[in-house]
A and B are shown apart, each in its own frame.
Chain A
Amino acid sequence: MASLLSRFCRKLALPGSAHGSRMTSTTACGSETVKSLNLYSAINQALHIALETDPRSYVFGEDVGFGGVFRCTTGLAERFGKNRVFNTPLCEQGIVGFGIGLAAMGNRAVVEIQVADYIYPAFDQIVNEAAKFRYRSGNQFNCGGLTIRAPYGAVGHGGHYHSQSPEAFFCHVPGIKVVIPRSPREAKGLLLSSIRDPNPVVFFEPKWLYRQAVEEVPEHDYMIPLSQAEIIREGSDITLVGWGAQLTVMEQACLDAEKEGISCELIDLKTLLPWDKETVEASVKKTGRLLISHEAPITGGFGAEISATILERCFLKLEAPVSRVCGLDTPFPLVFEPFYMPTKNKASSSSSLSSPSKTHIF
């Protein structure tokens, strides 16, 4: 898996392969030092840069002082002091509400929710306050400085409450942005963009990749634009759309499908809300088939939104129904995780990915 991931991640470093990627690091700007980092180190670097460049930015959450349970905040408290990087008591609602207040007064609050499964007490504050602050104050106040970081997704042994993917709940809220990186290099750029974006952002980090994903990450300050999807693998037979850790699984499925002569186009959505409809639409108009995959349960997952939108826009160009390979409609199981997860086998054998010349084989 690690070798596959490094192969997958190395692809992104080649400027030619990434369509629509506007990373500033690819333009020649003198000596660009890169370092091989894993996801939590890349996020750590991003936080260091964010705090360095804005003296009114703060990082807080549960256990961030010593570095956080996933080590994303190591070194911040020592470098920037306990006034800017501090632990909060165990109260998600209070933490996020507190962050909203800070943001409303013009500060940049980077809130850490220890695990995305714990974000629900804060859901009220995010939906009812953060998302509506600018709107209901008539643009007098806004909490654009708020960024909420939460590790999400399956990790192999997380069980009910350390594996959930709650992105669908937040994608239903106008007023906030939802961003999910797929690799260390993306994570650093997207996190810096999210922190500096003038809207509140919920930033989900795939916790499975914290140590697993290793990539060459530029050391300087760079941002990756939000709401721009990236085609990370060009193809002509079918479009696959995903985000976060699921892309590595889909990459595997693409490789398997290639052996059968199916050319797959893989798109990383990066920002789920507001999402880049144009890129996906253009791709589906080219290929005629769409497969969406995510770890969250299938009913009401974000794949449904993508499916409905593409159907509206590309109906006449579709050669097959849009298929979704997602988690099952059960609470995230402990022992049954391998059955629940949308594995590459499930993706490969889904009717969309089977060879176009054959009829539905399964």
Chain B
Amino acid sequence: MATAFSATLPLHGSSSQENRLLLPPTRLPPPPSSFLGSTRSLPFRRLNHAHAARRSPVVAVQEIVKEKKPTNPLLITKEEGLVLYEDMILGRSFEDMCAQMYYRGKMFGFVHLYNGQEAVSTGFIKLLTKSDSVVSTYRDHVHALSKGVSARAVMSELFGKVTGCCRGQGGSMHMFSKEHNMLGGFAFIGEGIPVATGAAFTSKYKREVLKQDCDDVTVAFFGDGTCNNGQFYECLNMAALYKLPIIFVVENNLWAIGMSHLRSTSDPEIWKKGPAFGMPGVHVDGMDVLKVREVAKEAVIRARRGEGPTLVECETYRFRGHSLADPDELRDAAEKAKYAARDPITALKKYLIENKLAKEGELKTIEKKIDELVEEAVEFADASPQPGRSQLLENVFADPKGFGIGPDGRYRCEDPKFTEGTAQV
């Protein structure tokens, strides 16, 4: 039953693939509260290919996607193209620099790199505004960067310095930013999804009950392993029930540390789980930023209009191991090579040049600019101070006196007994 993924996968070239929107065929009964549900039923669109035929549960994800000729020859303008390119290059350079810094001992802890998956982050987050929220996993550096958190802040956070976005408290897996509405960085898989669901409820509440002009959407990113976790299903149910403006984005890179997605999931086609809960489920080629962007546009518009959640499965791949401590011995070299050939950055570069949207020179300038930005971020992080000891006891509770400040009015860790462990804490 466990098939080697590379053996069954047909090679697809760079031609575009169809993104299919699968909707449930039945009408939902109107729920009692007018706020928590809509009396409108979901529109029903007939599908004209017979993918509903029964087949073996374990199929290569790509087998089910069909070819389609694009009606509009160019999907992006030059400006948009350059913005996307710059964002993906930033993601890639930053992660490569992270690896260098890790092996030099400048950062520690568990660091999970995003190389290869940049198309998903760029494709979705570049469509969002500053007030839209993003919730991510432990592989969150690039999500934070795409959302607008400065490279300096992220690098400092990785180094554990006080100028980091969380003042050095969280490290790699906990990138938060109130300003950019980046709701983190969750080390625990699936823990972010209910948080994202709550954030989406807030924007819906603001719009419908408080009558504020709010059409913020929330995008929750998570992986294929998370789709076997209970929290995922609980939130799909709640989001569809309350028609929340949320997009669930599955970054299906086929591996959960060492567990192959196909071997640990009864039905590996995750997009199918959307309609089971009453929301559209879409599968998209996650190595192509333009396709991701097209799907993201539809999903975001849907959410902004109040039509409810969408589940988007992006088929993508991580070029490095699970984390920097992972020797990455388990994955087949042929599989890695296949996906390396579909590198999203080279694909976008090729698209821009072939369609005369940009010249090589312009792209090189962008790359150089990003290199300098990342180097400057490292210098900044190096030069930043480490957090003071008093920060250890801050923010455990809301009221610092409730915990962190002693009866003499000073922070407890200023107390000389602190390092000796005899101070009353």
- Residue ranges of A at the interface with B (Cβ–Cβ < 8 Å): 62-63, 65-66, 69, 87-91, 93-94, 117-118, 121, 156-162, 298, 325, 328-331, 333-336, 339-340, 342-343, 345-347, 349-351, 362
Indicate if the CB atoms of A63 and B420 lie closer than 8 Å: no
Closest 6 CB pairs of A and B: A346-B421, A89-B228, A161-B187, A335-B160, A349-B420, A336-B392
Query: Binary interface profile of B, 382-399, with partner A (CB < 8 Å = 1, else 0)?
Result: 000011010111001000
A339/B389 contact (C-beta < 8 A), A89-B264, A333-B169 known: yes
Q: A328-B392, A328-B425 are known contacts; what are 10 more A-B pairs with Cβ within 8 Å?
A: A90-B259, A157-B108, A158-B109, A158-B110, A329-B396, A335-B171, A345-B420, A362-B417, A362-B420, A362-B422
CB-CB < 8 A to A93: which residues of B?
A: 230
A336/B389 contact (C-beta < 8 A), A157-B108, A159-B171 known: yes
CB-CB < 8 A to A362: which residues of B?
A: 417, 420, 422
Sort chain B's interface into a size bin.
35 or more
Indicate if the CB atoms of A330 and B396 lie closer than 8 Å: yes
> Which of B108, B190, B389: most chain A Cβ within 10 A?
B108
> Which of A159, A160, A161: most chain B Cβ within 10 A?
A159
- A93 CB to closest chain B CB (Å) equals 6
- A118 CB to closest chain B CB (Å) equals 6
CB-CB < 8 A to A159: which residues of B?
A: 109-110, 170-171, 173, 187
> Which of A334, A339, A340, A347: most chain B Cβ within 10 A?
A334
- A128 CB to closest chain B CB (Å) equals 15
CB-CB < 8 A to B403: which residues of A?
A: 329
CB-CB < 8 A to A69: which residues of B?
A: 257-258
State whether the Cβ of B62 lies closer than 8 Å to any Cβ in chain A. no
- Residue ranges of B at the interface with A (Cβ–Cβ < 8 Å): 108-110, 160, 168-171, 173-174, 187-190, 225-226, 228-231, 256-259, 263-265, 330, 386-387, 389, 391-393, 396, 403, 413, 417-422, 425
A selection of 11 A-B contacts at a CB cut-off of 8 Å is A63-B259, A90-B190, A90-B226, A160-B170, A162-B110, A328-B425, A329-B396, A334-B160, A336-B389, A350-B422, A362-B420
Indicate if the CB atoms of B169 and A334 lie closer than 8 Å: yes
> Which of A87, A88, A340: most chain B Cβ within 10 A?
A87
CB-CB < 8 A to B160: which residues of A?
A: 334-335
Indicate if the CB atoms of B258 and A65 lie closer than 8 Å: yes
Where chain B touches its partner, the secondary structure class is loop
Indicate if the CB atoms of B421 and A342 lie closer than 8 Å: yes
Bound form: Cα–Cα A79–B348 in Å? 47
CB-CB < 8 A to B259: which residues of A?
A: 62-63, 65, 87, 89-90
Bound form: Cα–Cα A192–B45 in Å? 59
- A82 CB to closest chain B CB (Å) equals 8
- B40 CB to closest chain A CB (Å) equals 34
Indicate if the CB atoms of B171 and A334 lie closer than 8 Å: yes
Bound form: Cα–Cα A118–B190 in Å? 11
Indicate if the CB atoms of B230 and A91 lie closer than 8 Å: yes
Indicate if the CB atoms of B264 and A94 lie closer than 8 Å: no
Indicate if the CB atoms of B256 and A161 lie closer than 8 Å: no
- B261 CB to closest chain A CB (Å) equals 9
Bound form: Cα–Cα A342–B190 in Å? 32
Indicate if the CB atoms of A330 and B229 lie closer than 8 Å: no
Bound form: Cα–Cα A198–B263 in Å? 33
Partner among B110, B225, B230, B419 whose Cβ is within 8 Å of the Cβ of A121: B230
CB-CB < 8 A to B425: which residues of A?
A: 298, 328-329
Bound form: Cα–Cα A350–B425 in Å? 14
CB-CB < 8 A to A89: which residues of B?
A: 225, 228-229, 259, 264-265
CB-CB < 8 A to B391: which residues of A?
A: 336
Bound form: Cα–Cα A336–B160 in Å? 10
Indicate if the CB atoms of A87 and B263 lie closer than 8 Å: yes
CB-CB < 8 A to B265: which residues of A?
A: 89
- B191 CB to closest chain A CB (Å) equals 9
- A76 CB to closest chain B CB (Å) equals 14
Nearest neighbor of A118 in chain B, beta-carbon distance? B188
A346/B169 contact (C-beta < 8 A), A63-B259, A117-B188 known: no
